[in-house]
Amino acid sequence: MVRAAELWNEAMTPDEYLQQMTKNRERFEANITRTRIMPGDWAAFGQEPLHILVLTEDWCSDSAQFVPMVIRLSQLVPTVEVRILRRDEHKDLAEQYQRKDGYQPIPVFILLDAEFQELGALLERPERATQEMTEETRRFLAEHPDLPGANRMIDRMPEETRQAVKAHIAAWRDEQFDRWTRYLIEDLAEIAKSAKLRVA
């Protein structure tokens, strides 16, 4: 079984990842710039080295939203370092980070301490963001009962309805950017803090 720490040195720096992106690069770069790192983040992450290994692909909308946040964190907090692996090229590692329902999440944020011991991982997106997105999808569909198959699961909806939902959620989630940045930063800090408390 391959460990995340074993792949750190072959993983891409954020700049190397950006150079090879073929999808979502403009949005990705804009999201790095718009990410706001707060004074409290220095207290949470600035005390000792933290390595964040990200499994991702450039076509993923969650990756385009959330990966730039950790890159910005690493740009502003010197103790945080980020490296990136393409998930589909490292399936042996990715398979170790599945959701409870067996789904293979993307992105995956793997936290490693100064000695490259794994502290924990955040899968896909903060749970609070997932809950809000589910609620907003329900609200949107309830407001648009005229959409064909609006009462079905999204993977069973007609294509036109599925595209309407996706377009609405894409615009809506962009409006949540600052709040969801807080969710991600807080959840990553909690993973790191909880791991240290377990060791202590």
Q: Which among 117, 84, 99 is positioned nearest to 8, based on CA atoms? A: 84
Q: What is the DSSP string of 89-104?
A: G-HHHHTTS--TTS--
Q: For residue 74, what is the domain's CATH number?
A: 3.40.30.10
Residues 102 and 54 in one domain: yes
Residues 116 and 151 in one domain: no
User: What does pLDDT average to over the chain?
Assistant: 93
The 10s digit of each residue's pLDDT in 123-138 is: 999 999 999 999 999 9
Residue count of the chain, please give it.
200
> For the residues 103-116, what does the mean pLDDT come to?
95
The 10s digit of each residue's pLDDT in 46-89 is: 888 999 999 999 999 999 999 999 999 999 999 999 999 999 99
Query: What total number of domains does the chain contain?
Result: 2
**What residues make up the domain containing 41?**
4-125+177-199
Residues 67 and 92 in one domain: yes
Spell out the residues 6+ positions from residue 28 whose beta carbon is closer than 8 angstroms to its own. 18, 21, 58, 64, 67, 68
Residues 74 and 147 in one domain: no
pLDDT of res. 8 = 97
**Rounded CA separation 154/170 (Å):** 15
Residues 155 and 86 in one domain: no
Q: Which among 192, 197, 196 is positioned nearest to 44, based on CA atoms? A: 192
Q: In the predicted model, is pLDDT for residue 98 greater than 60?
A: yes
